[in-house]
Structure 1
Amino acid sequence: MADPIEDVVRALARPGRETSDFDLNPGIVLPAGRVLRPAAVLVPLIGGPRGLEVILTKRSSRLKHHPGQIAFPGGKVDETDANGIAAALRETHEEIGLPEDNVEILGTMAPHETVTGFTISPVLGRVRAKFEARAEAGEVDEVFAVPLSHVTDATKFAIERRRWRGEWRRYYVVPYGPYYIWGATARILRALADRMA
């Protein structure tokens, strides 16, 4: 039987492009010379009862940025981090208790720009062995997993809109059960879905 991770590795070998929270909103003019803060997230893939699954978090409602939203584990790249991969692994360990040496790095995707001024580097990694997830108090309310087959199926995505800073803004959503996956997380997953198609 083929290892399902091979489809992901093949997808990462295909060309990709940078994405943005503004992709579906071409009329928004971004300020010239804007300075984006570097961040990195881990897209952790683990074998589960529904096949290969993606581990996600529900962010604390008390956070300044993206409170209560569904997100990949990760965060800002610190000066002490060697690179985005190191930052993603460090933040993931802090947020959900996944040991860094339990992750096999598969590759990275092109950066994603957020409306909050970050440029996020998505890092895909295979979780080698099961681990006990531990949500970081104050930052993460819940750690859960969704089937990779769901979030890489383009037919599961929809485009919705809401008003943001006085303008209508369109964005991708890919709901799963009680989880409303949208914004940057959904956009990154859609980019992966496009590469896996």
Structure 2
Amino acid sequence: MPFIAPTDMMTTSELTRFLSLAAGSPVARETLRNRILQEEARQWRQAAVLLPVVHDGTQWQLLLTRRADTLRHHTGQIALPGGGREAGDADFTQTALRETCEETGLPADAWQTFPVLPPHYTPSGYEVHPVPALYCGRNPPEPQPDSREVAEVFYLPLTDALNPARYGERLLETKGHRISTPTLSYRHYDIWGLTAIILYGLAERYQAHLRQAV
């Protein structure tokens, strides 16, 4: 079935409706990858990331970060703001908002959040819960990234993130399986790994949302 190209004219109401329903749309490719990674029983470390959508006055965009070069793991990679769940976090939404504030300086009360998407499992042992969110503070936002964790904050047009045709593929070898995983190139940024997997899952959910609306 051909892809339906997303439009950059999506209203706030249309975007809010999609984000409100996104968690209820299963994604076959995502489910298969999770099943393969879960074959080995283990104690998963819980984490959450924010899927932060903002409007710059012209179009909807996703806020992404480039991890600091001084970090021990995933140095310099493109990431969604987030991190590990702490004992005092009431839920995954609080984890994602707390970590986003720590990394970017954007406060928790500046976001309207939506139902948490199904978790993703990683070869490194994390169970990561994506939390869709819409920025409702001053537009455009003025992030103040923590240089110890974040080298750069930048924005990816939401129309690119939601268009499956924009993605390429790489093979991931894990647990004796070769899994095709999505990648996304934007300007000089190479978006891959878990970030690209989460974004591609959002794109597939948006395709399902558009077809239901036809």
- Fold agreement, TM-score > 0.5: yes
Aligned residue for 1:89, secondary structure, equals helix
Query: Whole-Å Cα distance in 1 between the matches of residues 196 and 124 of structure 2?
Result: 16
Find out whether 1:64 has 2:84 as its counterpart.
Answer: no
Alignment partner, residue 61 of structure 2: 53
Tell me if the contact between 1:158 and 1:174 (Cα under 8 Å) persists in the aligned partners: yes
Query: Whole-Å Cα distance in 2 between the matches of residues 62 and 164 of structure 1?
Result: 27
More helix, by proportion = 2
Give CA deviations for 1:119-169 in whole Å, capped at 9, x if unaligned: 111001111123321111221100011100001100001111366799865
Query: Whole-Å Cα distance in 1 between the matches of residues 58 and 34 of structure 2?
Result: 31
Seen in structure 2, the aligned counterparts of structure 1 residues 65 and 87 have a Cα distance that, compared at 3 Å, is same
Give CA deviations for 1:82-130 in whole Å, capped at 9, x if unaligned: 1110010000000001111111113321111111111111001111123
Q: Percent identity?
A: 32
| Counterpart residue type for residue 157 of structure 1 | Y
Query: Whole-Å Cα distance in 2 between the matches of residues 171 and 49 of structure 1?
Result: 33
CA shift for structure 1 position 10: 2.5
How many residues align? The count is 195
Pairwise mapping of residues 1-197 of structure 1 onto structure 2 (< 5 A)? 3-4=11-12, 6-7=14-15, 9-10=17-18, 12-14=20-22, 15-17=24-26, 23=33, 30-32=39-41, 34-48=42-56, 50-128=58-136, 129-130=138-139, 131-161=141-171, 170-197=180-207
| Counterpart residue type for residue 201 of structure 2 | A
Q: Which runs of 5+ in 1 are unaligned?
A: none
Aligned residue for 1:63, secondary structure, equals coil
Query: Whole-Å Cα distance in 2 between the matches of residues 89 and 162 of structure 1?
Result: 30
Give CA deviations for 1:19-77 in whole Å, capped at 9, x if unaligned: 76972995x78322x11100000111100255100000001122223221101000000
Query: Whole-Å Cα distance in 2 between the matches of residues 36 and 2 of structure 1?
Result: 37
Seen in structure 2, the aligned counterparts of structure 1 residues 25 and 100 have a Cα distance that, compared at 3 Å, is closer
Query: Whole-Å Cα distance in 2 between the matches of residues 66 and 52 of structure 1?
Result: 27
**Larger mean Cα displacement after TM superposition, 175-184 or 103-112:** 103-112
Q: Give the TM-score taking structure 1 as reference length.
A: 0.87
Q: Give the TM-score taking structure 2 as reference length.
A: 0.80
Seen in structure 2, the aligned counterparts of structure 1 residues 49 and 2 have a Cα distance that, compared at 3 Å, is closer
Seen in structure 2, the aligned counterparts of structure 1 residues 11 and 126 have a Cα distance that, compared at 3 Å, is closer
Aligned residue for 1:92, secondary structure, equals helix
